[in-house]
Every structure is written in C-alpha cells, then in structure tokens.
C-alpha cells in the first residue's frame, strides 16, 4: 500500500465535511482528486502513481466500472450494433440507439425474438458478444481480445483504492465526509475471465445520440464498459488494507 496515499487520505478525512467542487454524480471523485492535487484526465493510467482510485457514496448502489473499451470486429462494430439491433431514441425516435447490458450467465432480450449473451472463448482467446434469434445464432463478429483486456488491466487496474464518503445536501449544495479507504491488488487475469464467465462482470454498450448543439443527431458512443458489483470485487481482487 502506498504510504503517500495513506497520508493524503488521513489528511483529507481530518478536514471533515467538504463542499463538492462539482455538481452531479461525478462530484465525489472530482473533489477527492482535487484534494489530492491531481488534475482530471482521461488517460489509461492509474490516478495516483500506480493506484487507480474509485470513489463511492455510502449507501449508494456500488457498481465498480473497471475498464471502458470499444470492441473489435470486422468493419465498425458500433455501426453494426446500431444498424442491426438499435431501437428508436425516446426523445428523438428517428434516430437509433443501443444502450443495453449483457453478461455470460443469462440471455438479455434485444428484440422480441432476438437475445444477446457474452461468451468467453478460450480457444480463440476472445470475449465475444453473441446474438441469437430463436434457436439460431446470428453471425456477428464483435469481441474483445484477451491480449487487449489484459493490457488495459495491467496498465490501469492492477492496484485500486476504494474511497467511501458520507454525503449530505445543505441549501442545494452537496458535501462529502471521506471516511474509509480500502486497498486491493488484482489476483490474475484468469480470475478476471472467470468473473466474466460466472456473470459477475457485465458489459454495457452505451451508444446514444447528441441531443443538442452542432452535433445534434449524430452518434454519441459513451463507451463500452466492463463493470462489477463492489460486493463481488474479491472475485478478481485481494484486499490488502482497510482503514
């Protein structure tokens, strides 16, 4: 466990209630990073030296976003998904979107008779998105290679620190009391694959459209996310420290 992060966390904890520096759900993480003197970025590297930081409000739904990674495949997999399986946007129905979550344990309905599921293919070393219509699999070449997934995990998520905070609203402003730090190290890549295979890790496609501005009506891919319920985190990580 990095001693510098411990010291910084205890100093932040001693400050007591801290006013959020940003409105909305990302305020908790943004405020904590500012208190660490870290600038916000979207780089595929850990937040603090070699540790990725995840922040959660106490008593909130705790789904841990692991990695966001666009799938591979022939042509443009995102276009393929929307063109074949997209549905009308609620606000702008002339445009098609695809916002759905899948796992490897149960089928999720896409259309009336079309279902999607995730498969871990050890022979081809790929995590695949499979679509079936009735009893027949529809050929759709969308996947994530083991090599790419392993590279992303090793570069960004070998070590993680989970920060929990109480929160309250005062005159419309949110305040945080950062209260707990838990530090984990990843077991191995095979544990990650097994967690996908057993349905603990889900994959969410988030393909929408811009609703305003100069990009209005154009596709907005917010990323394909691998996530796990924080209660199942020890399927892939070992807890090394808690305070």
Residue 159 pLDDT: 94
- What is the pLDDT at residue 201? 97
- Residue-wise pLDDT tens digits, 40-88: 666 667 888 889 999 999 988 788 999 999 999 878 888 888 888 888 9
Residue 68, C-beta contacts closer than 8 angstroms, at least 6 positions apart = 223, 224, 225, 226
Specify the pLDDT at position 84.
85
Average pLDDT over residues 154-183: 94
Residue 234: both structure tokens together: 């020890």
Question: How does pLDDT run across 105-147, given as a tens digit for each residue?
Answer: 999 998 888 899 999 999 999 999 998 876 555 667 899 999 9
Residue-level pLDDT at 37: 84
The whole-number pLDDT of residue 40 equals: 61
Whether this model's pTM surpasses 0.75: yes
What spatial distance separates the first Cα and last Cα of the chain, rounded to whole Å?
12
Say how many C-beta atoms besides its own lie within 10 A of residue 120's C-beta: 17
Half-sphere exposure of 185 (CA within 13 A, CB side): 5
């Amino acid at each position: 466990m990095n001693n510098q992060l411990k010291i910084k966390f205890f100093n932040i904890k001693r400050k007591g209630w801290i006013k959020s520096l940003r409105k909305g759900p990302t305020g908790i993480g943004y405020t904590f990073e500012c208190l660490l003197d870290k600038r916000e970025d979207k780089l595929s590297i850990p937040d603090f030296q070699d540790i990725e930081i995840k922040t959660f409000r106490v008593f909130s739904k705790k789904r841990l976003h692991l990695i966001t990674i666009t799938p591979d495949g022939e042509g443009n997999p995102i276009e393929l998904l929307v063109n074949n399986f997209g549905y009308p946007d609620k606000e702008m129905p002339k445009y098609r979107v695809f916002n759905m979550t899948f796992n490897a344990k149960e089928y999720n309905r896409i259309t009336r008779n079309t279902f999607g599921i995730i498969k871990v293919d050890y022979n081809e070393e790929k995590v695949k998105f499979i679509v079936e219509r009735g009893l027949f699999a529809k050929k759709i070449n969308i996947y994530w290679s083991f090599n790419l997934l392993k590279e992303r995990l090793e570069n960004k998520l070998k070590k993680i620190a989970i920060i929990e905070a109480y929160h309250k609203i005062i005159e419309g402003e949110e305040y945080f009391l950062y209260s707990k730090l838990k530090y984990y190290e990843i077991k191995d890549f095979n544990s990650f694959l097994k967690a996908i295979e057993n349905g603990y890790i889900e994959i969410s496609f988030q393909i929408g459209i811009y609703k305003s501005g100069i990009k209005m009506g154009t596709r907005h891919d917010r990323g394909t996310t691998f996530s796990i319920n924080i209660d199942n985190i020890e399927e892939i990580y070992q807890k090394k420290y808690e305070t």
